Amino acid sequence: MAAATGAVCCLGLVGVTLIAADPAGESFTPDQRAEIAQRAEADVASRGQARQPATAVTETPTPQSAPSTTPAPKPKATSKSEPKPKPKPKRIVPVAGLDRAQMDNATMIVRTGQEMGVPRRALVIAVATAMQESNLYNYASGVLPESQNYPHQAVGWDHDSVGLFQQRPSTGWGSVRDLMKPEFATRQFLTALLEIPGWQDLPLTVAAQAVQVSAFGWLYAQHEWRATEVVDAVLA
């Protein structure tokens, strides 16, 4: 490029010199004048082309992939460990000659007493009392037809006595609906037992009779050994 530029420049100088020399009296033939003009015109065109800005090279843009319309998968949330279901209470094998229904009711008495935080002695008294009062079956009353609308395992006719402890709604133990619930009946019995001064040191039959006020209070004692066996089996 440098050599070509230099050659063009030299031709330009020659053209200028030759044209400038004409006024000094030198004469040129028509052919010479035509050649000089032709060179000058080529020189001008050469310079003009050289001064034109170079054509910008347009780069072909690298094609970019269109943004995906499919939403990016959301990160999976860290799942918190689900609380483990509470284990079902162990069903105690019947002992002391009880059948399944009796053992379930006795177990419920003991579990309710545990929730209340009562001493083991109170549990034995409660189970022995229920053995005497209802033979550990949840009784409805023939005198109170309403009581038969609730789950029950037998029907008795001892006034308006209902439930495991044969408690009477008419004497303030609670409503028929509540007393037919073994848990409620147990709480009522144990609450009354704990209010007796020195109940822990009383013979079982005396402690139970103080709560029940039964016409046959001396009969509770006969169930003490079986009640003890049942409580031991549940607490084991």
- Note the pLDDT tens digit of each residue in 43-67: 444 333 433 433 443 444 455 555 5
Residue 74 pLDDT greater than 70, yes or no: no
The pair of three-digit structure tokens given for residue 15, joined into one six-digit string: 């053209």
Is 122 a domain residue?
yes
Residue 19 pLDDT greater than 50, yes or no: no
Q: Are 131 and 215 found together in one domain? A: yes
Q: Across the strands, what pairs with 141?
A: 156
Q: Are 35 and 129 found together in one domain? A: no
Is 133 a domain residue?
yes
Please give the pLDDT value at position 90: 75
Higher pLDDT, 98 or 90: 98
Is 112 a domain residue?
yes
Q: Are 25 and 119 found together in one domain? A: no
Q: Are 130 and 23 found together in one domain? A: no
Higher pLDDT, 130 or 65: 130
Q: Across the strands, what pairs with 140?
A: 155
Is 155 a domain residue?
yes
Is 83 a domain residue?
no
C-alpha distance from residue 115 to each of 45, 83, 194 (Å): 113, 22, 15
Beta strands (DSSP E) in 36-161 are 139-141, 154-156
d(CA 15, CA 22): 11
Is 78 a domain residue?
no
Is 22 a domain residue?
yes
Q: Are 110 and 176 found together in one domain? A: yes
Please give the pLDDT value at position 50: 38
Amino acid present at 139: Y
pTM over 0.75: no
**What is residue 194's three-state secondary structure?**
helix
Please give the pLDDT value at position 66: 52
Is 65 a domain residue?
no
Domain count, the chain: 2
Q: Are 106 and 222 found together in one domain? A: yes
Q: What is the dihedral of CA 130, 132, 133, 135, to 10 degrees?
A: 70
Tell me which residue range forms the domain holding 28: 2-48
Burial class (CB in 10 A: 0-12, 13-18, 19+), 160: buried
Q: Across the strands, what pairs with 24?
A: none
Q: Are 30 and 117 found together in one domain? A: no
d(CA 13, CA 23): 17
Q: Are 112 and 35 found together in one domain? A: no
Give me the half-sphere count of Cα atoms (radius 13 Å) on the Cβ side of residue 99: 5
Q: Are 14 and 111 found together in one domain? A: no
